[in-house]
Each structure stands twice: as C-alpha cells, then as structure tokens.
Amino acid sequence: MAEYTLLIILFAPFLGALALIFVSNRQVSLVRGIAAGSAFVSLAASVYLFYAYDSVKGGYQFIQRIEWSRQLGISLHLGVDGIGTPLVLASGILLFAGIFVSWHIKDRVKEFYIWILILAAATIGVFMSLDLFFLYFFYEMSVIPMYLLLGMWGSHTKKYLEMTDPEGLKQRDSVGFIFNFGANSKEYAAMKLVLFLSAFAVAALMGILLIYKFSGLNTFDILILREKAHFSGPLATLIWLLIFFGFASIAPIWPLHSWSPVGHAAAPAATSMLHAGVLMKLGHFSIIRVAFEILPETTRELMPIAAVLCIFSIIYGGLVAYYAKDTKYVIGYSSSSHMGYVFLGMAALDYISLSGAVIYMFAHAMATGMLFAMAGWVYDQTHTRDIPSLGGLSNRMPFISAAFVIGCMASIGMPGTVNFIAEVMIIVGSWNKYPFQVVVAVLGIVLTMAYLFKMMRGLFYGSMAEKYSHSHDAVAVVDRMPLLIMITVSISFGIFPGHLYSVVRSGVDPLIARITKVVPVAELPMNIPQASTPTMPQPAPGEAIAKVTSR
Amino acid sequence: MTFSLTLSASDLLLLLPELFLTLWLCVVLAVDFSFKRIVQEQLAYLTIFGVIITLACLAWFDMTGITGTLFGKMFVVDRMAIFFKVMILLATILVILLSIDYVHRFSLFRGEYYFLVAMSALGMMFMASANDLLSLFVTLEFATFGFYVLVSYLRDDMASNEAGLKFFILGVFAAGLLAYGISLVYGETGKLVFSDMTGAAPTTGLVIGFLLIFAALGFKIGAVPFHSWIPDTYHGAPTPVTAFLSIAPKVAAFAILLRLFLVALATFKPAWALLIVAASILSMTYGNIVAIAQRNIKRLLAYSGIAQVGNVLIGLAAGTKMGTDSILFYLLTYLFANLGAFAVIMAISNSVGSDEIDDYRGLNRRSPFLAFAMLIFLLSLAGVPPLAGFIGKLYIFVAAIKEGLYILITVGLVNIVVSMYYYLIVVKKMYINEPLDSSPIKTTGPLRAVIYVGLAGTLVIGIYPQPFLDWAVAATLMFSNLIGPAASLTPPVTPFGG
C-alpha cells in the first residue's frame, strides 16, 4: 500500500473530478462532499508521505514507474525527494482548504470543483514527476483550468467596471481586448495568464527537446539524464536559459511577473490560494528539478542572473504592493515580491539558503493562502476589494480580522511562524555570496510590514461605512476550518521545524554537493531548535565526497 | 514495363475492400431508386453497414498481414495503405452520421448524397494505395469528382454554389498542373512507378515536374500558398461535407505525399526538405494569424486546418521513419478532434441556425455537454495535455528535433501559443459570456454518437497512446531504411533506480 502513496495523492483529485461529471449540478451537497472527500484522501496521503519520507536515507522515494510510450522513451515516473515532499503536502493542504473556502459558491458548483480538482492534481503531478515529459505535461495541464476558473468565477476590477457600460459587451468582446491595458476585466486576466504561461512554457519545452536530442539517450527520464547526460559550452547555456526563463515566468521573476497580480485579482479566492500558494512554486521547483539536476555546472555559472533579478522582484513587487488599492493586488504583488526571496535562496547555491528557499515555498503557501482566503471572504461580504472604501470591519468580523493579523505576521516572517525560519535561513545562507541582496531582502521585509499593516488598517480598523454593516464573520465550521488548518500548520512548523528541516536538507544536500562540489558542514546552522539534531542528514559528508571525487 | 491484365484469385483478394465497397455503392443506389418511399435514415445506415464491413475486411488484412501489389505496382496494399484506408473509412462513417440530421435541407437527390460520400471515400481509398504517377492522377480525380458535387449540394444557396464553383475551378487547375507535372517527370525518367524513380538524375524538367506535382497535392491538403480555396469552400459547403473535406482528402493526399517524397525522391531529401519547411512555416503562421480575425466557426476551423497541415508537414520535413509515424499518428488525433468539433457545430447550427462564433455565447449554460465537448476538441486541436493533440504535436516535434529542424520547431511552438488565443476566444464565448437566449440546445442521437466517438478518441489517445503509437509505427515499417536515426527501433534505456 505504502508504495502507491504517490498514485493515491495524484489520482484522488482526478477521480473526484471524474466522479463529479456524473453528478447533477442540483445535488450541491453531494458535489461538495465528493470534492471534499477526494481532497481529503489526497491530503491524508500527503501527510502520510511527509512523515513516512525517510530523511536519513534521502534521495528519491516512493518511486513508481509505469511505461507510457516506448517510441518516445516516456514513462510515468513518479517519485519525491526532500524538495518535492513538502510541496506536495502544501498542495494537499491548500486544495483541501480551498474546497472549503469556496463552499458558498452558487454558480455552476460542479464545474467549479471539477476544475479546481484538476488544477490541484496537475500541480501535484509536477511536484512528483521524474520524467521531463510528464513534468511538462502536468505543468501545461495546470494552466487551462486557470483560464476557466478566472473567467467563469472571477471578478472584474473596479476600474474596468467603471470604464464599461453595464452590459459591457462591446469592449469585452472586441478582438483587441487583450491589448486593453487600461482596464483589467477577468477575461483579460485569464487570457493574459494563459498566453503568458503558455508562451514561456513552450520555451521550456524547447529546452526539454534540446536536452532530449543532445543527450542522445532517447529518454525523458530525469534520473537517467542526471547521471548520463553531459552538456557544455553554448548549448548548455542556451538550454539553461530556456529552462530557467521558461519556468521562471510562472514563479514569477521580474520582469515576467505582470500576468500574476492581474490573475490573482481576477481569480476567485480558492483559485488565488492555489495560484499563489502552489502554482507559482511550480516555477522554482521545475528549475530545481530540471536545471539544477541535469545542468549542474551551467547552474553554477548562470545562477547569478537570478540573484540580480531577485532584487527587482523584491523591491518592485513591494513598492507596487504598497501603493496598490485593491486587496488582491496587494497580496498578489506581495507574493511576487516574496518569490524574489526564493530566487535569492536558490541563487546563493548554499546548503542553508537553498533549504531556506524550499521551506520558504512551503511557508509562503500557508501564509498567502490565508491572506487570499480572507481577502476572498471580505470580498464576498462587501463586494469590493477597494481598500480606501473599506474599514472598521473588525467590529463585524472579529475572527477574520484576528486571523488576518496572524496571516500578516506569518507573511512578514514573525518568529513563531515557519516563514521566520525560512527567511532567516535564506538571509544567513546567502550572506557570504550576496551581501547586497541580503540587505535588499531585509529592507524588503520592512516594506512587507509597511504594506501589510497598511492594508490591515485599511480593512479592519478605522471607521466603517454604513453599507457594510450587514457583513458578517466566518462563524460556521466550514468557514473557519480552512483558516485554522493553515494557521496551525504555519505555527506548528514554526515551533517544531525539525522534521521539515531534515526532510528538506535530505533533498538539498546531494543537489548542492553536485553543483558546488562543496561538502556540507555537518553541524547545526543557527537557531534551529535542537529537536532536529538526531535527524540531521547523516550521509551527507561521506556521500557528497564520494560523489565529488567520482565526477 | 510489363503490364499484366490477368487477375488471379489472390489479386482479387487484395482488391476485396474496394470491390466490396463498389458493389455496395451500387446496392445503395439501387435501393434508393427502387424504393421511392425509403426513409433517408435507413439509406444512411445501409451505407454505414457497407463501410463497416469494408473496415472489418481491412482489419482482417492488417491482422493477417495480407500485403502485395497489383497491375505492375500501380496499386499497392501495405500496412500504411491499410492505416490510411481505416482512417478514411472511419471519417466516412462519422460524416454519414453527421449528415443524417442535415440531409432534409437538401431539396433534391437525398439518396445520392450518401452514394456520393461513399464514392469519394472509395476514391480516397484508391489514393491511399496509389503507387505510380498514373494511378495518382486517376485516383485523385476520382476522389475529387464526388466532392465537386457534394460541395454545391445546397442548390438554392448562393454560398454553396460559390463554394462549389471555386473548388471546381481551382481543382481543375490543380489537376492540369498535376497532369503537366506527371508528363514532365515521365518524359525525363521514362518511369511511372515511384519506387523505380529513386536513382533519377535531377534535371531541370524533373525538378519542375515534381514541383508541379507538389503544387497539385498542396492544393489537396490546403497548404499555403495553395490554400486560397479553403475558407470559402469550407464556409459555403454543407457542414457535413465541410467536415469530410477537412479531414479525408488531406489524409489521402498525405499517403501519396509520403510515397512520393520518401520513396521516389528519397535521394533528394536535402532539396525537398527545404521546400517542405517553407510550406510548413507559411501554413502554420498564415493559418493561425488569419484565424484570429474570424467570426464564423467554419472559417475559423478552415484556417486552423491550414495551420494543422503546416504542423503535419513538419513531420514530412523530418523525412525519417519517426517523422512518418508522427504524421500518421497526428492525422489520427486530428480526425477525432476535428470531426468532433464539426459535430458540435452541426448540433448548434441545427438548433440556432447559425455558424457565427457570437452565437456560441453562454453555450455552457444552454448545453453543458456540447460546451464541454467543444472545449475538449478545441484544446486538443490547440495541443493541450492530456488530450490527443498534444501527444501528436509532441511526437512530431521529437521527430523533427532529431533531424535538427530547430527553426521549424521554434515556429511550430510559437504557433501553438498563437493558436491557443483564438481557440480560447471560442471557449470564452462558450463558458464566460452569458447567453442571449437561454433555451437549451437539443442534440440528436447520431450527432451525440459522433461526439462520443470524438471524445473517446481524443481522451483515450491522449491518456494512453501506446497502442495507437504501436499501430502507426507498425504501419510504416517499410520506411525503416530511411536516412537518419531510426529512433523508434532502438531498445529503451534500462530504467535507473526503481
């Protein structure tokens, strides 16, 4: 049974979506039940995966290999390492929470859950793919549900609604609406997202095809390519750039970020959660899985590109978030700013910083998931996301405002949340290599505080407009549960990060050893609680030395 | 050249599917004439029955490995011919099913309609087996002949007449080019059979001759710059005929193109590869860019069809065994997605009476099933996983990258993104926009059947393509001696780790 864990995690949502096709749209509770049930199966299996992953042994575990096409050298090769495992868990949590966050959707409920299940399952598929073909397969598969979710259940921006007549038909349906930068309709956001991601995805596909051709191995299998394929010179540079920018667009790195906040703003709450929580991490993860694994030398040479671009990500995203007036724009730009930290952690190519980056991905998924869920709740109650017109909502929704404070704390990286550990690891780990960026990153934290507090004050404190007096708090269990889950996860891993840390280290260690050929220091990096000492990655030094000398 | 006119029993066996279909066509015609009161539906099912028996016969050929040549190599039955014939007959069945609810629009000649459809199919079956220049010309004209009538079948409709006339004039012009090309090639080489021409010297006459033949075939598949008839003809023709026209003649013409380029011209590959690359880039780019501006779904699919042909030509430009496999596989995926899309179009036009994309507004609310089916078909055409079209495109790209056709692949990849835009515009109308008229759309049994077949084909091939890949690979074993890495034949690398 245990060896099928990955298949269960991956296919439970797919089967749920399949089952939903045969359910009538009128049986709303049955629809929700099936969606929540399949998400729960996936979540339970991913929790099991997280704790059953053997961080002492390390490497790829729970491997499944099903031959798919002999002619093309493709197999459904699934497996997780210490980097994939927490991300699979994060996807499971956010999918489960997302099902409940969207509990009150009224329009076309069945279709909504079908697409959200497919979106989450495809995302999970990327995190466990050990085959380049399937990595791309699931990656591209996650894009199309976004189009429908944004378009069908999303919302227009305030400015757009002001610009169009109530019918809005003319403007929304003109062929040139895609170039209509002034006003972001949900259709515009959805189309921009899909075209942007597809355009860069095909660049990554070109990189994958070049790897396939020049490895000469007739296989898409990452594990075989990692061992046997060697690339050098301009070819390696070209492939690396295609892979890096192809996947970094979804991350999103500056200047390829513009689709992301627009998409966040248009998306319904659960979609924003999955989008910011896990979809964006597909970028970092795919870069680690493809570029770091298959092109280690080129990664060492070219990763400074990311170190340069991440400065712009952090500062630009933070500044726009500070001046944005739309709650979802603020959280969206804060997400793209925070993804800069992950790039900094990756660029430093250090044991501590890369581990920090991976933990940051997990931590950010929880924090931003909370914020988007609550922004969605506020929008559902007030039907506006315009911060200046809101205020004083803490009287009406004490639970939400309290949870929002915790969400902001997590997002800032207060001690006690897992974000703090991740941030400190990134900062400490990259200090040696990129001190300037670290200074920027620390300033970025101050900036994060500024815009999050500003938004918090604007939404929940001050005086409340009369028209929002009918809005009410999240009282029901289904409404509170998703937030409580994410808060619990964020804080409990903040206090007891031992297992998370050792799992991540077991994935990061062999990777960094291969890239930098520096043996990890087998001692505790910093203020990681002592609980993690027994499960420190034991085999790291010896194995790494063996690997270095063999190459 | 020895030419034997005696036919032995085993020779007749090779011709069995064609002979049976010919006889059956006579039966259909006779039944139509003899029973004045016969319901046209029964005639349709009678025709389908004959086609299914022919398919069964081909399946038997494929399983028992019956192959051979006839009439001094004019007519060849090999596994590739069988593959193409199966595709053509499959398309014929689906098109006849599509027609059942459409035929009442024709004022006259309802019985002959099915006869003409099946007759064109017969012609295209012969095309799939054509192995020399003479049979190329005869079978091509035979197959097109039926279409000239079918396209202008709506006698009182101006658009249909215009479509027929345009198709006829340009078709006859292409036939003239073909005949002239054939005469030049024969004059230069003295050979007619493709496989005899391999060693011919590249004289000017020969080059011009082959260019003319390529132009005529390019007309059939609708590759740029021979595409100009496609939009108007697709737009004006009766929709089931458009559906038929959009897949079957292309399939048959690709059978001839493969034999012509990979057998007769195998030695000149570097020269013609450039020609194909140019045609492919032009077709993809032109088709996709012009499709963006279309307001009519049939015209949109016409231009997207031009672009799809450009994609298939990538496989031909690769010119390897794997390239051939990918062409066969791609055409199969295209068949299901395209005919499925046309079935949805017919269901909507039967109910709404229009083919304008604006009338697809809110289809999701009016008929969730039709909207979902259309979504799947369009995304498969765009090449989105996990649908068949994605595997088809990827297979073609893999075949091409092994030959180092980087520019072609880059153009192809960029075009995927461009095509996504206009397919998603249709998706937007269906799913995001609200309907102007929210009455539900009724579908009939035969149309549903076609949609189900299309959905099954698109999803099954997309999720588990192995049997279909195997079939395509087995069908083109005769090309395994082609230049370039025979990638399909190398054993898989032993799995690492688990």
Q: Of A367, A176, A191, whose CA–CA distance to A266 is shortest?
A: A191
User: By percentage, how much of chain B surpasses pLDDT 90?
Assistant: 47
More confident residue, A163 or B35: B35
* B395 contacts on A by Cβ (under 8 Å): 71-72
- Phi then psi for residue B430, to 5 deg, are -70, -40
Predicted confidence at residue A542, as pLDDT, reads 41
Q: Is A413 helix (H, G, I), strand (E, B) or coil?
A: coil
Provide mean pLDDT across the span A397-404: 89
Q: How confident is the model at residue B445 (pLDDT cuts 50, 70, 90)?
A: confident
Predicted confidence at residue B251, as pLDDT, reads 93
Provide mean pLDDT across the span B360-383: 91
Say whether A221 and B496 touch across the interface (CB within 8 A): yes
- Nearest C-alpha of chain B: how many angstroms from A530? 34
Q: How confident is the model at residue A2 (pLDDT cuts 50, 70, 90)?
A: confident
In this model, does residue B35 exceed pLDDT 70?
yes
Query: What CA–CA distance (Å, rounded) separates B455 from B393?
Result: 18
Query: What CA–CA distance (Å, rounded) separates A314 from A254?
Result: 9
Residue of A nearest to B431 (CA): A152
| Planar angle of CA B464, B468, B472, nearest 5 degrees | 150
User: By percentage, how much of chain B surpasses pLDDT 70?
Assistant: 94
Q: How confident is the model at residue A180 (pLDDT cuts 50, 70, 90)?
A: very low
Query: What CA–CA distance (Å, rounded) separates A529 from B392?
Result: 53
| Planar angle of CA A212, A217, A221, nearest 5 degrees | 70
Total beta-carbon pairs less than 8 A apart between chain A and chain B? 124
- Phi then psi for residue A517, to 5 deg, are 60, 30
Predicted confidence at residue B492, as pLDDT, reads 42
Element (H, E) at A67: strand A61-69
- Nearest C-alpha of chain A: how many angstroms from B33? 46
In this model, does residue A133 exceed pLDDT 80?
yes
Query: What CA–CA distance (Å, rounded) separates B342 from B336?
Result: 10
Query: What CA–CA distance (Å, rounded) separates B456 from B297?
Result: 23
Q: How confident is the model at residue A125 (pLDDT cuts 50, 70, 90)?
A: very high
Please indicate, yes or no, if residue B116 is contained in any of the structural domains.
no
Say whether A202 and B384 touch across the interface (CB within 8 A): no
What integer best gives the mean pLDDT of chain A?
A: 84
In this model, does residue B483 exceed pLDDT 60?
no
Q: How confident is the model at residue A1 (pLDDT cuts 50, 70, 90)?
A: low
Query: What CA–CA distance (Å, rounded) separates A497 from A500?
Result: 5
Token pair 């407009």: residue: A465
Query: What CA–CA distance (Å, rounded) separates B40 from B48?
Result: 12
In this model, does residue A166 exceed pLDDT 80?
no
Predicted confidence at residue A183, as pLDDT, reads 56
Provide mean pLDDT across the span B446-454: 93
Q: How confident is the model at residue A254 (pLDDT cuts 50, 70, 90)?
A: confident
Say whether A141 and B431 touch across the interface (CB within 8 A): no
Query: What CA–CA distance (Å, rounded) separates A374 from A389?
Result: 17
Q: Is A364 helix (H, G, I), strand (E, B) or coil?
A: helix
Task: Give Cβ neighbours of residue A68 (< 8 Å, ≥ 6 apart).
Answer: A74, A75, A76, A134, B464, B465, B466
Query: What is the CB neighbour count within 10 angstroms for residue A549?
Result: 8
Say whether B424 and A140 touch across the interface (CB within 8 A): no
ipTM: 0.89
* B325 contacts on A by Cβ (under 8 Å): 71
Predicted confidence at residue A397, as pLDDT, reads 86
| Planar angle of CA B230, B231, B235, nearest 5 degrees | 115
- Phi then psi for residue A386, to 5 deg, are -80, 110
User: By percentage, how much of chain A surpasses pLDDT 70?
Assistant: 89
Query: What CA–CA distance (Å, rounded) separates B18 from B126?
Result: 8
Range of the domain at B297: 267-482
Element (H, E) at A93: helix A84-101
Query: What single DSSP character describes residue A64?
Result: E
pLDDT in tens, B233-258: 999 899 999 999 999 999 999 999 99
Q: Where does residue B145 rank: exposed (0-12), middle (13-18), buried (19+ CB within 10 A)?
A: middle
Provide mean pLDDT across the span A194-203: 91
Which residue out of A72, A225, A226, A259 would a mutagenesis test of the B interface target, given it has the greatest number of B Cβ atoms within 10 Å? A72
pLDDT in tens, A5-61: 889 999 999 999 999 988 888 888 898 999 999 999 999 999 999 999 888 888 888
- Nearest C-alpha of chain B: how many angstroms from A168? 11
Provide mean pLDDT across the span A464-489: 85
In this model, does residue B469 exceed pLDDT 50?
yes
Element (H, E) at A470: none
Q: How confident is the model at residue A210 (pLDDT cuts 50, 70, 90)?
A: very high
In this model, does residue B482 exceed pLDDT 80?
no
H-helix segments, A250-303: 259-266, 269-274, 281-286, 293-294, 296-302
Provide mean pLDDT across the span A136-140: 93
In this model, does residue A541 exceed pLDDT 50?
no
Say whether A198 and B492 touch across the interface (CB within 8 A): no
Q: How confident is the model at residue A159 (pLDDT cuts 50, 70, 90)?
A: low
Omega of the bond prior to B17 within 30 degrees of 0, cis? no
Cβ(B361)–Cβ(B435) below 8 Å: yes
**Strand B68-70 relative to strand A61-69, pairing:** unpaired
- Nearest C-alpha of chain A: how many angstroms from B431? 7
Predicted confidence at residue B496, as pLDDT, reads 38
Say whether A224 and B469 touch across the interface (CB within 8 A): no
- Nearest C-alpha of chain A: how many angstroms from B55? 27
What is A438-460 written as a DSSP string? HHHHHHHHHHHHHHHHHHHHHHH
Residue of A nearest to B383 (CA): A140
Cβ(A516)–Cβ(A300) below 8 Å: yes
Q: CA A367, A373, A379, A382 torsion: positive or negative?
A: negative
Among A137, A203, A223, the residue with its CB nearest the CB of B497 is A223
Cβ(B266)–Cβ(B130) below 8 Å: no
Facing residues of B317 across strands? none
More confident residue, A516 or A357: A357
Direct distance between the N- and C-terminal alpha carbons of chain A, in angstroms, rounded to an integer = 37
Query: What CA–CA distance (Å, rounded) separates B164 from B229?
Result: 10
Query: What CA–CA distance (Å, rounded) separates B384 from A118?
Result: 14
In this model, does residue B484 exceed pLDDT 70?
no
Please indicate, yes or no, if residue B327 is contained in any of the structural domains.
yes
In this model, does residue A157 exceed pLDDT 60?
yes
* B413 contacts on A by Cβ (under 8 Å): 202-203, 205-206
Query: What CA–CA distance (Å, rounded) separates A192 from A340?
Result: 22
H-helix segments, B130-266: 133-151, 158-189, 204-221, 230-236, 239-259
Name the residue ranges covered by the structural domains of chain A. Answer: 2-158+184-550
Q: Is A74 helix (H, G, I), strand (E, B) or coil?
A: strand
Q: How would you label B63-94 residue by residue, b for 16+ Cβ within 10 Å and e otherwise?
A: eeebbebbbebbbbbbbbbbbbbbbbbbbbbb
Residue B304 Cα distances to A51, A96, A320, A439, B418, angstroms: 50, 40, 40, 52, 11
The total domain count for chain B is 1
Q: How confident is the model at residue B262 (pLDDT cuts 50, 70, 90)?
A: confident
pLDDT in tens, A310-348: 999 899 889 988 888 888 888 988 998 999 999 999 998
Among A60, A138, A202, the residue with its CB nearest the CB of B413 is A202
Which residue out of A5, A11, A71, A75 would a mutagenesis test of the B interface target, given it has the greatest number of B Cβ atoms within 10 Å? A71
Region of poorest pLDDT, from A37-46, A101-110, B381-390? A101-110
Say whether B492 and A73 touch across the interface (CB within 8 A): yes
* B424 contacts on A by Cβ (under 8 Å): 147, 191, 194
Query: What CA–CA distance (Å, rounded) separates A365 from A371?
Result: 10
Query: What is the CB neighbour count within 10 angstroms for residue B497?
Result: 14
pLDDT in tens, B52-69: 999 999 998 888 888 888
Tokens representing A289 are 């899985």
In this model, does residue B4 exceed pLDDT 60?
no
- Nearest C-alpha of chain A: how many angstroms from B272? 23
- Half-sphere exposure (CA, 13 Å, Cβ side) for A148? 25
* A136 contacts on B by Cβ (under 8 Å): 385
Among A65, A72, A202, the residue with its CB nearest the CB of B417 is A202
| Planar angle of CA B339, B341, B345, nearest 5 degrees | 110
- Nearest C-alpha of chain B: how many angstroms from A186? 9
